Every structure is written in structure tokens, then in C-alpha cells.
Amino acid sequence: MSLHDTFSPLRTLDKSEDWWRGAVIYQIYPRSYQDSNGDGIGDLRGIAQRLPYVASLGVDGIWISPFFTSPMKDFGYDVSDYCDVDPMFGTLADFDLLVDTAHKLGLKVMIDLVLSHTSDQHPWFAESRASRDNDKANWYVWSEPKPDGTPPNNWLSIFGGSGWQWDARREQYYLHNFLTSQPDLNFHEPQVQEALLDVARFWLHRGVDGFRLDTINFYIHDAQLRDNPPLPKEQRNASIAPSVNPYNHQEHLYDKNQPENLEFLRKLRAVMKPFKAAAVGEVGDAQRGLEILGQYTKGDDMVNMCYAFEFLAADQPTAQRITEVFAKVDEVAGDGWACWAFSNHDVVRHATRWGLNPQAQRLMVTLLMCLRGSACIYQGEELGLSEAELRFEELQDPYGIEFWPEFKGRDGCRTPMVWEGNVINGGFSQAMPWLPVSSEHMMNAVSVQEEDPGALLHHYRRAVAMRHHFGALKTGELTGMAASGDVLSFTRRDGEAEIFCAFNLSDTPSELKMPEGDWVPIGEELGSGHPSADGKLHFGPWQVSLARRA
């Protein structure tokens, strides 16, 4: 009997207020999960059809990237109607079906709220730009030009160029931290905050269990519009924007990360509490991400959890780097709650980004399931999918088109899910998909791995099952984290229960002495090694060792 069989997937919906703490959330990019109507684009009904598979992974819930009405200049992250479904993805009735199906399978549903900006096609912006004295004139960030006609300050867009766009109707500039077609909302206007809280209420009443909050630290800008100072070259970090982007040349003191944001987050948490809903915030900051995580998740009146980009960075995390990250978390976010991810829809898949072989991929998900915090798994990583290679003419992502070829954009991690290894387009769609299905992915399809007991897919199931079986791994404290060469070790503890975790993060054999005491090995089906007679752990390449105190 396998570990997955012993620790079966969740079958009933967790109705506790703290369901999110230590939860494993499976991210779905709707355009690329399952096409149900033959137009080459994934949709909500397609997701609903595949939810039994998601439930079989043993995860606690799903996070669905945006499906709202949108002109799709940034593929749904440019919203033109917060309270409706884009026809490309279906209808509100389809969404209701999805939620009902998920809940019957014991899965929570979190949706991606993009509150910092809208599409320029949103009726709010159409009214705001019409004049300087209409009811929504102050709903976006407008500013006079400098006397010479140039933008009001030096703020830059993540997608390249100035963060300001001239509008001839008002003869003013408006702020856009992303595309020019994504104007930033003015959170200094109370009516804007209330309108966005109403959006959250709409979806909560529709049955969602929480939100992933896009660019959570971008909501509020410096009201004085002060220039950002330059960032010394040695401090630049390309985890948020590619190194070829001048966005990395500034210290972003004033265009985001403003203290007034805390009060809005309290209001949002108050809206969610009666529904026992939870939110995970995306903290986009290369220098102070963990500090902001600590601020935003401290106490029970802020955001439930946040993730920063420490483990979404280009460099593979070493044992020493992981200890540094967790030491910083203890220092600046000890009262908060982190959510960890290795891949998502914005970064190169970690199998490729870190050059991981199959053994290393197994170790990394086992490590993820042992770390303190909640965890996100991005669709397809459980299959070991690599970053897809696309030609320039196949690109859809404006980010990649802007910075090609030094930065190829985000399409390589957004290609369709592969379900059947011997079916056209991997079973994603009978039509030409919006992005090509990678031929290399076909051999890793779900149908292929389901038939192979040694496949990575089953390892993911076992790792998730182990996390749920041992409360110490899900919500216990983490102590004694240390790096001994390439070996990372720590202890998870919940009351009397204690689990020792050790990971050889290299392809070189290594060894480590076990802590004193009587330990019972666990996780044999995850490749966990046993201590030898001398009390030492002898690791093969990319091997783990897990044990519980007797």
C-alpha cells in the first residue's frame, strides 16, 4: 500500500477559520488548463471537468488566475469588469458550477483579485479620463506635467519605459505601473477603496473561499509623487523584473510599499472574516519583500499570508541560502505567515530555471512540503514540466515581446497542460491552442504518469499526503535550521510531536549526524534514507532523510 493510499486526499471541505494555515494551494492558469468548447482556450467548465484530478493530488484548494471580463492585453490582469466572467472563459453560471464542484470534492476556491489597476477599457477609467470634474475624476492617479511637459517624476513601468502616460482628454499624465493600458487606481480616494471592497463582497457571496491578491504592495502610491532614488548597481536584484529592465535601477521607495496600505488591508480582512475566507498576497519587491510580508501578515487583522520572491528567483536555493531566508523571516516576519512557491505563471518553471534532474525535482517538492508556511503548486510542476521553448512569432506575452531575446517573457511557463500523451494537443483542446503544446511535454502527460508508479506525479501526491498526515509539518514550529555543506536540516514540532528533516541539495554524496534521541524513519516512499549504526545519515545525491521522534 502506498503512502498516497494510506494518507488519502481530502474528501470533506475544511470549514475551520484557519483552514489556510499550512494549506497546499494548486494554481490554475485558466487559459491553459482545459478547453471545453473547442476554441483553443481553456475555460471554467474545463477546470470543473478536471477538478477530480486536482482533488487526487490531496491539495487543500485551488487558486484561479483572472477570468474576469478583459480586453486581454495582459491576459486578464487588465480587468474591465470585476464582477463578471469574460465570455472567453464562460459565464457566472459556469463559475458557480466550478465552485460547487470544488466544494463537493473538498477543495477551497481562491480567485486572483487585481486591485492595484484596471484596464483602460473599464467604465471607471472611461469616466475618469472624460474630464477633471466628473464623479470619478479622482479614481485614478492623475498628475500635471512638469513645466517642460515631461512626466511628473521618474517612476518607471515594470513593462519598460516611464510609469506615466499622457492623456490628451485631460491634458494630464496617468500612472501605470504595468502596461499603458493598465492605469493605476487611486487608493487615496475613499470611494475607490469601498468599490474594491464591494468587489470582494460580490465574490465572497458567490461562494469563494479567498483571494490571491496581485501586486499587493502596489496599491498605494506616495501622494507627494516624490522621485525614487537610484539603486546602487551592487544592490540590484532581478527577481521582480529581468536584469535588462531599467526598473531595477531604482529603489522603489515612493511608487509602492506605502504605510497607508496597511489600513486598507485591515478593511479587506474585516470583509473576509465573516466568510472564514483567506487571502494570500503577492509581494513584488526585490529588496524588502520579506519585511513587507512581515508587516502585511502580522496579527489577525491583516492579510492571512503573503509570498515574496526568494524562492522564485533565478538562482537555485542552496542550503545556506535557505537558512538565510528563514533567519530573515524569523527576524522580520516572526508573527506573520509565509506562503512558499517555486514556480508560478510569471517565472521560468523551476525544473528549467534551476536545471533540476528528476531526483532533484523530487527532493524540492518534499522540501516544500516540510517548510513552515503554506505552499503553492503551479499547474504542471507535478508532472515535471520544463519551460517550453517558443519562437518569437509564437509569443503572446507583451513583456517578452518588449525585451526579446534577452528576456523571453512568460509564455514558456503558460503553455497548455498535457493530459493525454497520445492525443492531439495533449488532450487540452481539439482546436489550435492559444499557445503551442510543447512536444517535450507530451511524454510527461498525466495519462503517461498515472500508469507509472515511479512517476513524479505520484511523488507529489505522497509528499502532499505526508504534510497532511503529520500536523507538525503542516502547522508546527520550525527550529534548528542549519546548513552543513550542501545538507539542510531542521526540526518541525507540534506539541509532543517532532519531525527531523534533512536534505542533500546537491548531486554529491554527503553525511550528517542525527540529533540525539530515538527516531523512527518516515517517508520511505519519498526516498528517505535511514541513519547507519554510527548514528550518521549517509546521503546519496539529492536524497532526503525524515524521521519522527519515538
Residues annotated as part of the active site: 214, 282
Q: Are 123 and 136 in contact (CB under 8 A)?
A: no
Q: What amino acid is encoded at 170 in this protein? A: R
Helical H runs in 426-521?
Answer: 439-442, 446-450, 456-469, 471-475
Closest CA to 310 of 291, 297, 296: 291
**CA pair distance 14, 18, nearest whole angstrom:** 9
Q: 339 in the Ramachandran plot: left (φ > 0), alpha (ψ -120 to 50) or beta? A: beta
Helical H runs in 346-428?
Answer: 350-353, 358-370, 398-403
Q: Please give the span between the terminal C-alpha atoms of the chain, in angstroms, as a whole number.
A: 23
In the chain, DSSP finds a helix count (H) and a strand count (E) of: 15, 20
Task: Please return the burial class of 316, using the count of CB atoms within 10 Å of its CB with bins 0-12, 13-18 and 19+.
Answer: middle
User: CB-based contacts of 537: which residues, under 8 Å, 6+ apart?
Assistant: 502, 511, 512, 513, 514, 529, 530, 531, 545
Label the pairing between strands 164-167 and 339-341: unpaired
Closest CA to 485 of 468, 508, 462, 457: 508
**What is the grid cell recorded at 288?**
524588502
Task: For residue 508, count other CB atoms closer than 10 A to its CB.
Answer: 12
- Chain-centroid distance, C-alpha 412: 16
**What is the grid cell recorded at 426?**
495533449
Beta-bridge mates of residue 69: 81
Q: Are 289 and 338 in contact (CB under 8 A)?
A: no
